């Protein structure tokens, strides 16, 4: 059965075949693929169940940051646009039950307004909440795992599942609780109290990020994970700078002259251009330092 006929019977979804996906990622890569936009929890359950039943692979698409979007003829991208209760961010609360599709910059604005301690850790990260939790996003200020109390998941069967989160459920830039086909649809977040100094800390950190990262370019955030050995962090961008690879270009993709761990789409790049440049940089780093840096960006 055609996917279009399957989704035509499900309310609160939009389905398109071989959609231009360029605008659905911060990298703005040239790509086409089937796209399913889901706007309610019942629709998500029915959609995931149908995709599993018809053995159609799917990739959850958040803001499209930290993701290399590529043309996929035999699978689709699933994007959430779930409703946000109008009063959830109207006041300071001890915990927040939030849809996975909410953007982190909305939460950062809330943190600035109320001085929420802990929420500074995701300052400046371009992501949805679900995507950030999935990869345990973070900055030099900390990781989002420290703020997650519970995650709400739709299993590949369409069943609902709740997980009370513990530190052992996460590791550096990854989670240990999602299985193939699982979709986070909501997250309960906490904070560590209120502190008026948090607002200034967030604003200062944002200024530093703007000065040291190419935030006005078409990027996907950091390409490589930092290498951690004996509790010491070897920053990928620092080593890329030492080797002199800033500005290295392959077709439409360039290593940022501003920050070595960012790649910039400068001329209609595709996923192949990204992977080619990743392999070139990674091979050179291994040759020079004997260290193979792992990709942070997801395929």
Q: Which of the following is catalytic: 120, 143, 173, 254?
A: 173
Helix H or strand E encompassing 233? strand 232-234
Contacts of 1 (CB under 8 A, 6+ apart): 54
Q: What are phi and psi of 79, to 5 degrees?
A: -120, 135
Burial 124-153 (b: 16+ CB within 10 A, else e): bbbbbbbbbbbbbbbeeeebbbbbbeebbb
Let me know if 173 is a catalytic residue.
yes
Rounded CA separation 170/172 (Å) = 7
Q: Which of 120, 143, 264, 296 is catalytic?
A: 296
Give the angle 118-143-28 at the CA atoms, nearest 5°.
115
Token duo for residue 153: 């998941």
Dist CA 227 CA 95 (whole Å): 33
CB 250 within 8 A of CB 280: yes
Q: Which of 134, 222, 254, 282 is catalytic?
A: 222
Catalytic residues: 173, 222, 296
């Amino acid at each position: 059965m055609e996917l279009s006929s399957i989704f035509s019977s499900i309310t609160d979804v939009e389905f398109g075949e071989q959609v231009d996906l360029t605008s659905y990622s911060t990298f703005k890569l040239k790509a086409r693929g089937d796209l399913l936009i889901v706007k309610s929890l019942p629709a998500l359950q029915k959609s995931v169940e149908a995709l599993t039943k018809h053995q159609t692979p799917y990739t959850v698409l958040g803001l499209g940051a930290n993701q290399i979007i590529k043309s996929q003829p035999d699978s689709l991208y699933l994007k959430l646009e779930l409703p946000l209760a109008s009063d959830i961010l109207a006041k300071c609360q001890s915990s927040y039950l939030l849809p996975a599709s909410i953007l982190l910059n909305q939460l950062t604005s809330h943190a600035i307004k109320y001085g929420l301690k802990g929420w500074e850790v995701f300052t400046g990260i371009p992501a949805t909440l679900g995507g950030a939790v999935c990869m345990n996003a973070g900055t030099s200020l900390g990781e989002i795992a420290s703020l997650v109390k519970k995650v709400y998941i739709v299993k590949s069967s369409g069943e609902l599942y709740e997980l009370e989160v513990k530190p052992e459920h996460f590791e550096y830039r990854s989670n240990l609780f999602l299985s193939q086909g699982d979709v986070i649809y909501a997250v309960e977040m906490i904070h560590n109290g209120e502190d008026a100094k948090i607002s200034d800390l967030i604003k200062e950190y944002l200024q530093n990020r703007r000065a040291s990262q190419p935030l006005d370019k078409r990027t996907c955030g950091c390409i490589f994970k930092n290498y951690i050995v004996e509790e010491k962090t070897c920053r990928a961008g620092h080593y890329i700078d030492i080797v002199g690879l800033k500005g290295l270009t392959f077709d439409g993709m360039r290593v940022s002259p501003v920050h070595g761990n960012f790649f910039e789409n400068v001329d209609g790049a595709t996923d192949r251009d990204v992977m080619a440049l990743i392999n070139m940089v990674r091979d050179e780093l291994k040759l020079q330092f004997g260290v193979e840096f792992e990709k942070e960006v997801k395929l």
